[in-house]
Structure 1
């Protein structure tokens, strides 16, 4: 059952490389690799053209102490779509949300905690640093932007100088875009299901939002309790990781 979930996260300096390994199920996360169905990257600078891991290592090393080394869109994907359709939808989503910024993504599809229903979702990591055609070494890429002499500073951050109101508007626009692209993909695939980026109250629905149980609580539930809860939710799985 298609359902809408989208959140934006930030990773502080020193966490980007580890998170990239996590979404790609590399290193100590290799044992969780059975849920990884696709990964890709793009828009990397010349010094990391074929090595996104180097880009995130340099972000961890050279980004400002109080700066975000990466940001991430975490997005639930419709489980009505097969793998090729999920990949095509993801590529459209990346083009619309990321533009020319450096990115790396992974699609995970674990079974839901409460029912054995595939739970595909997207981890889309990206840098807020905007390429501007100037070739920079890694340390310069992540330094402070110099508006008067751009070649002497780092790449400008996309969120730099925006007010809270402008940032909020950007999030709403992203959510609208994600819902629109998912509904397009569902329609193209011949499915009747649709998603809605709006809150329940904005949709005029009285149902209270579901309470997230969390992995620990789900593990403590009996098989019967899981079945009852899953049936109450209409078989809809949680997001997972």
Structure 2
């Protein structure tokens, strides 16, 4: 039976330790998983891909999203080649004409033989313009203002995966289809979770264990969180609720729902292990990079590569807006002299 699962998360400079995105690449491409690697506009070799992403992270603004992580359950009914084509079709559908770097690892061997799935890391910067295209971390309001579909990114991603996945199943002659409807829409009872915003995630991950307290919301209503979460942090409470909901789904009596819930439970266990491993790997990476200078390459400049290429990023070319810098940059030295300005300083190695 075809299982629907589409999970979207992100790794940002302000919400995660430096190097976490690169560590994620190494984890999803680990040799023991025997993955099929698919790439676009970035290296395929895992360590080279990590180095590429680390450089892109250092060149981005301090609160930038480094990667968006998409995890997909792939239909067991499809062959290995058909699954690879499906992942490429899905990413091409999302990106349109834009040249967006992404790295995908398909797991379907060994312990994953019963639940083939794909991990996709998307660095949302167009290779030509340097601008964000998908803007998966934007609010619904910002996406609507920008004329992007959704308006919520996760709803758009889930709808596109259902559409592209079912097209692949139909093309292969299978009658089964995947269904993006929530458990509630499918008639499965579930407990609600508590929203955990970016600030709470940052505090929980990098500052201290947040305390539960009573607060007044914008409408002047008193919310007694200690009575709701019973002394647990929002993350701990939500993890407990999610485990409860998955257990209910496993016992729902519906084979499709039970299979989906088991898949999600297995992936959650792996995600927890990944998070722990990524933190250790990111700490090691910070130690290695402490003695090396950060990259001065600008966003969207010099990272252009063909799909699957491992050619090293090139330094930026001097631009008209950089005149007056007087420092060596890219292919030559400015001649007019003068001090660096705010719009040019980040481009110059001096």
Q: TM-score, normalised by structure 2?
A: 0.48
1:164 aligns with 2:169: no
Q: Where do 4+ consecutive residues of structure 1 move more than 3 Å?
A: 48-51, 160-163, 209-214, 229-233
Q: Quick one: distance in 1 between partners of 2:67 and 2:116?
A: 22
Change (3 A) 1:36 1:212: farther
Q: Quick one: distance in 1 between partners of 2:89 and 2:119?
A: 14
1:5 aligns with 2:5: yes
Match of 1:24 in 2: 29
Match of 2:58 in 1: 61
1:186 aligns with 2:185: no
Change (3 A) 1:232 1:59: same
Q: TM-score, normalised by structure 1?
A: 0.67
Match of 1:124 in 2: 120
Match of 2:220 in 1: none
Deviation of 1:199 after TM superposition, in Å, equals: 2.2
Q: Quick one: distance in 2 between partners of 1:90 and 1:191?
A: 18
Deviation of 1:201 after TM superposition, in Å, equals: 4.2
Q: Quick one: distance in 1 between partners of 2:113 and 2:136?
A: 41
CA-atom RMSD, angstroms?
3.3
Match of 1:142 in 2: none
Higher CA-based Rg? 2
Deviation of 1:207 after TM superposition, in Å, equals: 2.4
In the alignment, structure 2 segments of 5+ residues that lack a partner are 145-149, 192-240, 271-350
Aligned residues of 1:98 and 1:126 also touching (Cα < 8 A)? no
Deviation of 1:5 after TM superposition, in Å, equals: 1.2
Measured against aligned partners, the alpha-carbon deviations of 1:17-43 in whole angstroms (never above 9, x if no partner) come to 101101111xxxx4xx2x333112112
Q: Quick one: distance in 1 between partners of 2:80 and 2:109?
A: 13
Q: Quick one: distance in 1 between partners of 2:128 and 2:243?
A: 44
Match of 1:206 in 2: 187
Match of 2:100 in 1: 101
Q: Quick one: distance in 1 between partners of 2:60 and 2:73?
A: 29
Work out the number of aligned pairs and report it.
193
Q: Quick one: distance in 2 between partners of 1:22 and 1:207?
A: 33
Match of 2:79 in 1: 82
In the alignment, structure 1 segments of 5+ residues that lack a partner are 134-154, 219-228
